[in-house]
Amino acid sequence: MKYTPVIGLEVHIELYTKSKMFCSCSADYFGKEPNTHTCPVCLGLPGALPVPNKKAIEWCMAIGLALNCEISEFSKFDRKNYFYPDLPKGYQISQYDQPFCKKGQVTLSSGKKIRITRAHMEEDTAKLTHAKVDGKNVSLIDFNRSGIPLVEIVTEPDFENAKDVVEYLKLLQQTARYLGVSKADMEKGDMRLEPNISLKKEGSSGLPNYKVEVKNINSFRFVEKAINFELERQEKILEEGETPKQETRGWNESKQATISQRSKEEAHDYRYFPEPDIPPVRTGRDEIAEIKSTLPELPQERLKRFQTLYSLSSYDAEILAREKETADFFDQAAKDAKLHNVSPKQIANFIINKKPDIEKTLPAELIQSVISQKTSATISQSDLEELVKEILSENPDIVADYKKGKTNSIQVLIGKVMQKTKGQANASEVKTELENLLK
């Protein structure tokens, strides 16, 4: 029997704000000494109260807008209640029935549409490390991460294969970077993925009566492996006429397998209720328009424009649009290049092949490099050497002048070589070659 994968995604992205979501502790926690970025609020001390970070809310909405979501006119924070040692208050401040963003959509390169259910704002938990201390299995808790702003983006179960999942994730990562709200680095935990995976009989409608959530996929490299492993595992169970257990599994890289996670956490009943410590958030059309106006051109739009405006191949356009900095640089250089009769394609080739350090190069400098490179690339070193020898033997007077000390006469020789190569050589290379042979 054949099966169709049914995959939905929950992706968490940590925002790179200066301060945490509900307190003013620095959010720059990565790699810092444990428990040095905490306060009564993010440690969940008695009596402490949360005050939401305005920038984080705006950035959450910016992500929502980039994913074509509607922004809720009225939304609020809710408490999600559960017990876990990484959750200092015994509840996570999140959003339940009125998230900031809902009903979005993205289109993959194949044209397939992925519906975005919602994008909401919440706070990160502390970081747990499992270790052995004095022969005992323990968990070590670092609250530096507790309260970092987190945007959760939930899709409908619209994915049917792991490749599309990877494309979507790359697009999310790219979008977050374009917006400048996060590096969305999976290895650092800036971006975390939890797919819900199940299989349905090919051609059947409706959703399967189970789903398996997979955690611990903390690298782009693992995404396809983990999803494909899980799909094969489930297919085997279904082939045997059974239904896979609804559960949470974790990807174990060393075993190359997903493994059932048994935690002591009570069955999920989060007892959501409106967070009484934070007044609701109302977002007017003007404010939405204002956030919209700050959005940069987004990755997919830019990719399209590079192809149409500059006649680039999709391959080239993809490479140039991947990072916003590169794309901005290319845009500027391609625009300036027109004045120098250099084509965008030449600029693109130069950036892709020579990989110049764009942080240290100005677009104008790059154009000069392209122009001078244009005059060198086509003649080989040995041909050039032959040519220079020829010119030297044809012009003994000038050589004599040079040797007498009239070093300026070398310019005449350069001109003659250039003339002979019909502009195919690079003037400075010619000069070097001449100097070598004149020694």
> Which residues, numbered 159-218, are part of the site for another protein (CB under 8 A)?
none
Chosen residue from 7, 89, 251, 327 binding another protein by CB under 8 A: 89
Residue 137 found at the interface with another protein (CB under 8 A): yes
What distance in Å separates the CA atoms of residue 430 and residue 381, rounded to the nearest whole number? 10
What distance in Å separates the CA atoms of residue 434 and residue 135, rounded to the nearest whole number? 75
Chosen residue from 133, 206, 341, 381 binding another protein by CB under 8 A: 133
Chosen residue from 50, 64, 157, 244 binding another protein by CB under 8 A: 50
Residue ranges in 271-362 assigned as alpha helix (H): 285-294, 299-310, 314-321, 324-337, 344-354
Decide: 283 and 64 in contact? Cβ < 8 Å.
no
Compare residues 149 and 363 and give the one whose CB is closer to another protein. Answer: 149
Chosen residue from 2, 130, 285, 360 binding another protein by CB under 8 A: 130
Report the nearest approach of another protein to the CB of residue 39 (Å): 5
Report residue 397 as tokens: 């007077």
Report the nearest approach of another protein to the CB of residue 84 (Å): 7
Report the nearest approach of another protein to the CB of residue 338 (Å): 40
Residue 31 found at the interface with another protein (CB under 8 A): no
Residue of 262, 270, 326, 221 whose CA lies nearest to 94: 270
Interface mask toward another protein for 99-128; x: CB under 8 A = -----------------------------x
Residue 405 found at the interface with another protein (CB under 8 A): no
Beta bridge partners of 249: 214, 260
Report residue 346 as tokens: 């030449």
Q: Count CB-CB contacts under 10 A for residue 295.
A: 14
Residue 297 found at the interface with another protein (CB under 8 A): no
Report the nearest approach of another protein to the CB of residue 117 (Å): 20
Residue ranges in 101-210 assigned as alpha helix (H): 162-179
Residue 85 found at the interface with another protein (CB under 8 A): yes
Of 140-148, 173-181, 343-351, 394-402: span binding another protein (CB under 8 A): 140-148
Tell me, by CB under 8 A, how many residues bind another protein: 73
The C-alpha torsion from 243 through 246 and 248 to 249, rounded to 10°, is 0
Chosen residue from 35, 378, 407, 436 binding another protein by CB under 8 A: 35
- Amino acid letter at 300? Q
What distance in Å separates the CA atoms of residue 301 and residue 323, rounded to the nearest whole number? 13
Report the nearest approach of another protein to the CB of residue 150 (Å): 15
Report the nearest approach of another protein to the CB of residue 111 (Å): 38
Estimate to the nearest angstrom the gap between the alpha carbon of 70 and the chain centroid.
Answer: 23
Report the nearest approach of another protein to the CB of residue 90 (Å): 2
Residue 88 found at the interface with another protein (CB under 8 A): yes
Residue of 115, 116, 79, 120 whose CA lies nearest to 98: 120
Report the nearest approach of another protein to the CB of residue 273 (Å): 6
Write out the binding residues for another protein, residues 276-295 only, by CB under 8 A. 276-282
Of 54-62, 113-121, 310-318, 362-370: span binding another protein (CB under 8 A): 54-62
Interface mask toward another protein for 11-30; x: CB under 8 A = ------xxx----xxxxx--
Compare residues 273 and 301 and give the one whose CB is closer to another protein. Answer: 273
Compare residues 16 and 159 and give the one whose CB is closer to another protein. Answer: 16
Compare residues 141 and 352 and give the one whose CB is closer to another protein. Answer: 141
Residue of 210, 209, 213, 221 whose CA lies nearest to 170: 221
User: β-pairing, 281-282 with 74-75?
Assistant: antiparallel
Residue 55 found at the interface with another protein (CB under 8 A): yes
What distance in Å separates the CA atoms of residue 228 and residue 251, rounded to the nearest whole number? 11
Using alpha carbons, list the distances in angstroms from residue 108 to 197, 218, 396.
Answer: 19, 22, 67
Write out the binding residues for another protein, residues 245-264 only, by CB under 8 A. 250, 252, 259-264
Chosen residue from 271, 285, 360, 404 binding another protein by CB under 8 A: 271
The C-alpha torsion from 289 through 294 and 296 to 297, rounded to 10°, is 20
Report the nearest approach of another protein to the CB of residue 294 (Å): 15
What distance in Å separates the CA atoms of residue 56 and residue 76, rounded to the nearest whole number? 14
Residues 6+ positions from 436 with CB-CB distance below 8 Å: none
